[in-house]
Amino acid sequence: MNPIFKSHEKDFMRIEADQVCVDYNGTVALYDASLNLKAGSICGLVGMNGAGKSTFFKALMGFVRPSRGKIRINGINVNQAQKEQSVAYVPQNEGIDYSFPVSVWDVVMMGRYGAMNIFRIPRESDRRAVVHALERVDLLDLRERPIGSLSGGQRKRAFLARAIAQRASVLLLDEPFSGVDVPTEKLMAELFLQFRQEGHTILISTHDLNHVRDFCDFVVLINKTVLAYGETSEVFTSENLNKTFGGIPPNPLSGPTSSKDFINE
């Protein structure tokens, strides 16, 4: 187990990945990836496209079965954790059909489905959870609007609200800051810090090194395997980032524009 975590009764491990390997038809996508995240932490998952970030996410959500290694969420296996509504996934905007005929309210209510009976009839407690989640992302006024009529940032907040409504202890966010406006970015950053305080564990897959620096307690640098992992201040060195991005000097610590330019090139 990683030395940065001291075990005492309250901070048990939310996410434990132990030497996880994933391969698709013989092609190795991820090998020997280990990670331990305690309750109440924010971790950035940083790597290039194709470095295995989404594979790692898929493994954590049980979408792909590791060919080797073990993953535990809150001490139980991933499928059980899903059934207990412990893991919430906030997708990238691009993966969703925004012309689908559902309202913001409907989308957030989907976060409650797992806790409902087979007919998925909302109870009063489900409605309260949805209202509460919408309030936290500041979308309550827009709850009747079709999801497609929202701006990029509002859409992101709607899906974040769905994860909040699910009341999961582990949040997996895929590129949460891509294509969002400044108010949404601020709101999300504040929310993440609140989640941490409430004991949630957040894993953020991102390209954006500045966000990682700003509020991730931990960072995982990944390129087919975990290259470096630990507290952000220790791991986030130019040397480690060079390794992550294949020797191209990203110069991540010199300000927002340079690192974004690097990522987008």
Binding residues for another protein, per CB under 8 A? 61-63, 79, 82-83, 85, 87-89, 91, 95-97, 100-103, 106, 110-111, 113-114, 118-120, 146, 148-149, 162, 166
Smallest separation (angstroms) from another protein to the CB of 141: 15
Contacts of 206 (CB under 8 A, 6+ apart): 44, 45, 46, 175, 176, 177, 212
CB of 234 to another protein, least distance (A): 32
Query: 16 near 1, Cβ under 8 Å?
Result: no
Q: By CB neighbour count within 10 A (0-12 exposed, 13-18 middle, 19+ buried), where does 227 fall?
A: middle
Closest to another protein by CB, 48 or 96: 96
Q: Which is nearer to another protein, 82 or 210 (CB)?
A: 82
CB of 100 to another protein, least distance (A): 5
Task: Report how far residue 180's alpha carbon sits from residue 165's, in angstroms, rounded to the nearest whole number.
Answer: 21
Least distance CB 15 / another protein (angstroms): 14
User: Which residues on neighbouring strands pair with residue 23, listed in sequence order?
Assistant: 28
Residues 6+ apart with CB under 8 A from 46: 53, 206, 207, 209, 212, 219, 220, 221, 222, 244
Pick the closer one to another protein by CB: 88 or 212: 88
For 154, other C-beta atoms within 10 Å of its C-beta total 20
Q: Specify the residue, 78 or 226, whose C-beta has the smaller distance to another protein.
A: 78
At closest approach, how far in Å is the CB of 132 from another protein? 18
Q: Which is nearer to another protein, 146 or 179 (CB)?
A: 146
Tell the smallest beta-carbon distance from residue 203 to another protein (Å): 13
Sheet (strand 170-174) strand order? 87-90, 170-174, 201-206, 41-46, 218-222, 226-231
Considering the complex, state which of residue 118 and residue 182 has its C-beta at the smaller distance from another protein: 118
Kindly report the number of other CB atoms within 10 A of residue 142's CB atom: 18
